[in-house]
Amino acid sequence: MASTDADADAVAVELLPFIRVYVSGRVERLLGTDTVAASLDEPTGVASKDVTVDPATNLSVRLYLPPAVAAGERLPILVYFHGGGFMVESATSPTYHRYLNALASRARVVAVSVEYRLAPEHPLPAAYADSGAALARPVAAAAAPGAVDPEPWLAAHGDASRVFIAGDSAGANIAHNVAMRAAAAPLPGGAGITGVLLMHPYFWDASNTMGPALEDRISREWRFMCGSPDVRVDDPRLSPTVQQGAPSLAALPCRRVMVAVAGDDFLAGKGRAYHAALVASRWHGEAELVDTPGEDHVFHLTRPGTAAAAKMMDLVVDFVTR
């Protein structure tokens, strides 16, 4: 029997509040689709621009440069990976554009916000591959400006000896995985990662449970993100604290880590477990846990004008500038 338009419009997969995929293959993103152009931000004086990293994959980054940078002045490089469950959101969304403008201004960093490919069109590990490339290219431009196509802001003002990587939710998961990959494949020019900032990370850990419904949700999401029914929640990319198969957290190639969790976030226990496992691993650096009671997932992005969000910004700025 021939298929009908109604068959094609039937929903094959629905993961609320993020996405629907129809039998026809059409993908409908239910949030995180608004974008804003790069510009000079009048409140902060931060300038931004979009730069292509790899035309073959359409990989790009949005760069942010704070105001009044003197000739020859070198600033830390902060590479940021946005959240959105590997399915939605963008480096060009109003939420992340506002946040990176504020962070670049307050911390005086050259910020690099990564536009990685999304599932389901590009299942994992595409986001990891894109994010690793987006970290290496700007660092190379700052560490050895003559060795690659120089990006003027990074070549003139990026300090490859002070590289931070950060992200929220799925972006925090990316930040961890990119850092662990950097342990096996060092960054160009001998650069190292100074700090890793994980905001409300999208992790799994079996030592604390969230109830059958939420555990099933994480499992369904992870299979969808990976484009495979066979992946499990103890996949080391999702579960860096598993005892078997995951690289040792002791290999994390940085001097400082900050893990931020929100008390009312269903993922908070997973972030706490990561911090505890990192400390127990005999990793050589300084691990800090910031636990904000009474707040929900990525509150600092969804409610930027609140006292809690302002305090979180202060902590992030201190982490980068300390």
Report d(CA 189, CA 159) in Å as an integer.
12
CB 95 within 8 A of CB 301: yes
Helix (H, G, I), strand (E, B) or coil at 171: helix
Catalytic residues: 169, 265, 297
Report d(CA 184, CA 194) in Å as an integer.
16
Q: Which residues of 293-321 are buried (b: 16+ CB within 10 A; e: fewer)?
A: eebebbbbbeeeeeeebeebbebbbebbe
Q: Compute the radius of gyration of the chain from its Cα atoms.
A: 19
Helix (H, G, I), strand (E, B) or coil at 172: helix
Q: Which residues pair with 60 in a beta bridge?
A: 52, 115
Name the strands in the sheet holding 27-29, side by side, starting at the edge strand that comes first in the sequence.
11-15, 19-22, 27-29
Report d(CA 13, CA 52) in Å as an integer.
32
